[in-house]
Structure 1
Amino acid sequence: MLLRSRKMTVKTTIISPARPAQTWSLTEHLLSTFPEEYQRATQHPFLLAAAEGRLPKDVLGKWLANDRLYIHSYIRAAGKLLSAIDLPQVVPKDGEASETQLVDWLIEALAAVRREERLFIDVAGRYGLDVNIGTLGGVSSTEAVVVDEGAKLPGLVMMEDIFRDIQGSTTAAPGAYEMARLNDRPPTTTLLPWLEGAVMFWGTERTYLDAWSWAKSRQPPGKASSDAREDADGGALRNEFIPNWSSVDFGRFVGRLGGLIDFAVSQALERVGEEGADAVKAEIIGRVEAKWKSLLSAEAAFWPQVD
């Protein structure tokens, strides 16, 4: 959810070794799993109403308020995942390590979600939207005002739990997994210990991209952007948000993380050879498939109910 600017991103050049002969793609496998759940997450009545200009300002404002808190949870989770990444202790001879590329992606993602939060506040001011969720005010001016947990959308609560479960550290000493990789021997730690976290970040961005791309495809044809002032939200979605969340740049940014995940998995499969590949695939699927399904449920529950 970048550009979700999630996003307009800083363009970087990724130098990767040649793709191994393995053709199995973890991300394609996940996208083909639980198709009904994926459709509910990416083709919701809320999105159709947004595309057709039928979302009232109060409904849009409530959703943006929840999405803004999602950003805060996203930032905390990114920090935890960054702390779990075991960066190479020496410069690799075969190109930039997947772990280093993941760090680059997460840093760009953090900058992008902060831009997005500022975008929320700017657009809200120009279009008259309230992007504050319900709060429990303090009795006195010295007491903190806290968010009313009961005012959160179910999907936000679920996403906060998902992000909270991302591991913040590994038990291995720095460089342990990297040394095992360079010496071509089984690592003493979990294979790709950052994988679950990376899949969750890719999954939330990919579903967001597909959801708003679907909404864009459902916009009435031939309706000029100047007519957006007649929309129930005054044109905030059609003029500001939908173009941002369905952009080519956002798609490339999401695709970069998906490609990084698939490449790292392919490298792992190549190292174990044909005899061990099936076992490694089964291990990886067992680690991420249930989490993927939980993520889809959370994404579907993040869209407010509309008539």
Structure 2
Amino acid sequence: MTTQGPLTAYLLASTPDALTRATTHPFLAAAGRGTLPKPLLSQWLSQDRLYAQSYIRYIGLLLAKIRLPAQNSSTAVKQPTSEQKAINVLIDALVNIRTELAFFEKTAEDHALDLTAITAEEGACALTSCGNGSYITTSSGISTSGSGSCPGFTGGNTDIAGPMSTENTTGHALCVSQGECQMPSGSDMCVPSEFNTQPVSDDAFAASRARTPAPEAVRGGIQTGLERSGTLFFCASRTTRAYIDMFMSAGSTGVSVMEGMAVLWATEVCYLRSWRYAARCMRENGNKNGGGDYSGDADGGALRGKFIDNWSSVEFEGFVNQIGDVLDEMAGQIKGAEESEIMRGRCLEWWRQIVWLEEKFWPELV
């Protein structure tokens, strides 16, 4: 297969079917038609905000990779190098994501959207302290560096000897119940030490589950005192964790700056194309209320009144194109046909992974 021409064009043409699935998902069509339920939008936004937070760390990792040439004594005006252009783009990315997170918060507040909503997939994500019979959904930071900092065993087998044995599970109730450590960042334990393991009344349990999804163990008919008294813990979904892991991998020392820029461009171009599709659905559907009033939408107008315009704007398109231009310039500077083919192959692998993640990131409509 020939790979002549700009790298960005090559990547876009490499997986046409997968790219279409990722950027024309039914979730996006419902968003454009104003029929996306508020709870489902909240669940997606809560995960997208976690993605945005990990994006900041990823940009920092890319910036740390770039080595600018030392200044010389020449006073001649020189064109910026591709590395200097990359730095400018990455700084813009940080500014943009800071603005984006503030935009998330403001729009969520205006439209009563829950940025700690728990997805159906992660309904049994974790259990936290319920104190003296209280039942609340708890929001907390998560560790994006994995569970390596946790001293507990992450296999969930309580019959083995060691830190996760049945005699030493204090502070690792989550590991026991879930089979995977999800220790909150800044914490020394998976769950607070005061976790209440006492059973609660059936009436109180039913009332709590009316406000939070039931864990898988409860839905399967197994109700331990730990599960019955616990509340659900907000965390990254499996797909979000996979995206975060991908960012950390792409930002590692063994990955080139060019590959890192390819990852950045791929995530942004998929996002732009996705919301351009939602904008097209929005235009085709029209506005029954007339004017700019979308308060009658299922989500109260957050998407069609605020989010879609922002994520499909000409300004955002310009930013995506700027990243693509830097990436293509870097690819064009590679010496030798064999080296160029190797690098394009590496970028293609990143591209395929991102397109797959993008499709999985959209919640399924029920």
- TM-score normalised per structure 2: 0.65
Secondary structure in structure 2 of the residue aligned to 1:160: helix
2:56 corresponds in structure 1 to 75
Q: Could you list the runs of 5+ residues in structure 2 that have no partner in the other structure?
A: 119-125, 132-137, 143-181, 183-232
What is the letter of the counterpart of residue 107 of structure 2? V
Amino acid at match of 1:158: A
Q: Residue 90 and residue 169 in structure 1: after superposition, are their counterparts in 2 closer, same or farther (change >3 A)?
A: farther
The residue number in structure 1 matching 2:149 is: none
| Aligned partner (choices 331, 341, 356) of residue 282 of structure 1 | 341
Aligned residue in 2 for 1:57? 38
Superposed CA deviations along residues 231-263 of structure 1, whole A, max 9, x for unmatched, are 000100001000000000000000001011111
1:306 equivalent to 2:287? Answer no
Does the Cα contact within 8 Å between 2:34 and 2:297 map onto a contact in 1? yes
Aligned to 1:244: 310
Kept in 1, the 8 Å contact 2:116–2:139? The answer is no
Q: Which has the higher contact order (CA 8 A, sep 6+)?
A: 1
Q: Deviations over 1:134-177 (max 9, x none)?
A: 4743467xx9945578853443122111101023447xxxxxxx
Does the alignment pair 1:44 with 2:28?
Answer: no
Could you tell which deviates more after superposition, 121-130 or 218-227? 218-227
How far, CA to CA, are the matches of 2:117 and 2:40 in structure 1?
Answer: 12
Seen in structure 2, the aligned counterparts of structure 1 residues 231 and 133 have a Cα distance that, compared at 3 Å, is: closer
For 2:109 and 2:22, the matched residues in 1 are separated by 29
State the alpha-carbon separation in 1 of the partners of residues 70 and 129 from structure 2: 49
The answer to whether the aligner puts 1:125 opposite 2:104 as a matched pair is: no
SS of the residue 1:87 aligns to: coil
Report if the CA contact (8 A) 2:32-2:304 is conserved: yes
| Paired residue secondary structure (2:350) | helix
Answer yes or no: is the 8 Å Cα contact 2:22–2:358 preserved in 1: yes
Aligned length: 257
What aligned pairs does 1:25-36 form with structure 2 within 5 A after superposition?
25-36=6-17
Match of 1:137 in 2: 128
CA distance, structure 2, for counterparts of residue 70 and residue 236 of structure 1: 19
Write out aligned runs for 1:68-107 (5 A). Answer: 68-90=49-71, 94-107=78-91
In the TM superposition, residue 221 of structure 1 has moved relative to its aligned partner by 4.7
Kindly provide the amino acid, as one letter, of the partner of residue 341 in structure 2. A
Is the 8 Å Cα contact of residues 155 and 300 (structure 1) preserved in structure 2? Answer: no
1:19 corresponds in structure 2 to: none
- Compute the TM-score of the two structures, normalised by the length of structure 1: 0.77
Counterpart in the other structure of 1:216: 279
How far apart in 1 are the matches of 2:128 and 2:237?
19
Structure showing greater Rg? 2
CA RMSD of aligned residues (A): 2.6
Point out where structure 1 has 5 or more consecutive residues left out of the alignment: 1-22, 171-189
Instruction: Quote the offset at 1:222 in angstroms.
Output: 4.0
1:204 paired with 2:263, answer: no
CA distance in 1, matches of 2:139, 2:49: 19
- Counterpart residue number, 1:155: 239
Cα distance change of structure 1 residues 153 and 254 upon mapping to structure 2, 3 Å threshold? same
Q: Deviations over 1:80-132 (max 9, x none)?
A: 11111111223697510111111111111111111111111111111111011
1:20 alignment counterpart? none
What is the distance in 1 between the residues matched to 2:8 and 2:302? Answer: 32
Between the two proteins, what is the percent identity of the paired residues?
35
Distance 1:229 1:93, change over 3 A: same
* Paired residues of 1:80 and 1:168 also in contact (CA < 8 A): yes
